[in-house]
Amino acid sequence: MSMMGGQIRESCKCFSSDDWGNDTSMDVRLINPFIASTVRVFDMMLGMQVKTGKPSVSIQRPPMRECVTATIHMRGGAQGAVILQFSREAVFAFSSAFGMDSSSFSDAVDAVGEFANMVTGAAKSELGTDLIEISVPKIYIDEESSDRTARLKPWLCVPFSGETCSFHLAVSIHGPRSSELGSMSGEMVLI
């Protein structure tokens, strides 16, 4: 699996289907809008470039302890979630770059929420389909979410690094069938 221009370009077989059941693929047409939107919003709102690192696959959701996590749920034609996750240290650096009070943890968390809202809106626009409902991001602080993201698998994790902080995006989205996505371009990531 490789990244080119911040988007996933190739397929990769990383685990056997026995690790998580029968649904072992994610369509990059559902993933790339979140990656591209993260890069674009970072650039437009903060005037900073972020670089994507090498994606990895995990059969478990990234741990949410000692982090600020924005969780975005999807339902309808596609099921799953997208997670933007920052360490506590990165949250302060991020909020300062965002122009918010970096001494207030509450303001720092608000900056993550605003960023996640912008990424979600941009991804919705890029997906351009009414087959998929995308939720407003929910913020979790230093806690393991008891929501349905704990049951999702596999997870594609994409690290990001910028001038002031590093963070990662994790995605576990399944469905719809390719024919339901219509003219969206992309390839299937087989995991």
**Does some domain include residue 189?**
no
Range of the domain at 103: 28-173
| CATH code of the domain containing 48 | 3.40.1550.10
**Does some domain include residue 138?**
yes
Residue type for position 142: D
Sign of CA dihedral 145, 140, 21, 154: negative
User: Strand, helix or coil at 133?
Assistant: strand
Rounded to a whole number of angstroms, the CA Rg of the chain reads 16
Looking at residue 176, its pLDDT comes to 62
d(CA 109, CA 101): 10
**Does some domain include residue 22?**
no
What residues contact 94, with CB distance under 8 A and at least 6 apart? 86, 108, 111, 112, 115, 164, 165, 167
Q: How many domains does the chain have?
A: 1
In this predicted structure, the answer to whether residue 20 has a pLDDT above a threshold of 80 is: no
**Does some domain include residue 1?**
no
In this predicted structure, the answer to whether residue 113 has a pLDDT above a threshold of 80 is: yes
Average pLDDT taken over every residue of the chain: 77
**Does some domain include residue 185?**
no
pTM: 0.78
**Does some domain include residue 5?**
no
**Does some domain include residue 111?**
yes
Looking at residue 145, its pLDDT comes to 58
Cα 69-73-76 angle, rounded to 5 deg: 175
Looking at residue 189, its pLDDT comes to 40
Q: Give the pLDDT confidence of 64-81 residue by residue, as tens digits.
A: 677 899 999 998 888 889
**Does some domain include residue 102?**
yes
Alpha helices in the chain (DSSP H): 28-46, 88-97, 105-127, 178-181
Select the more confidently predicted residue: 24 or 62: 62
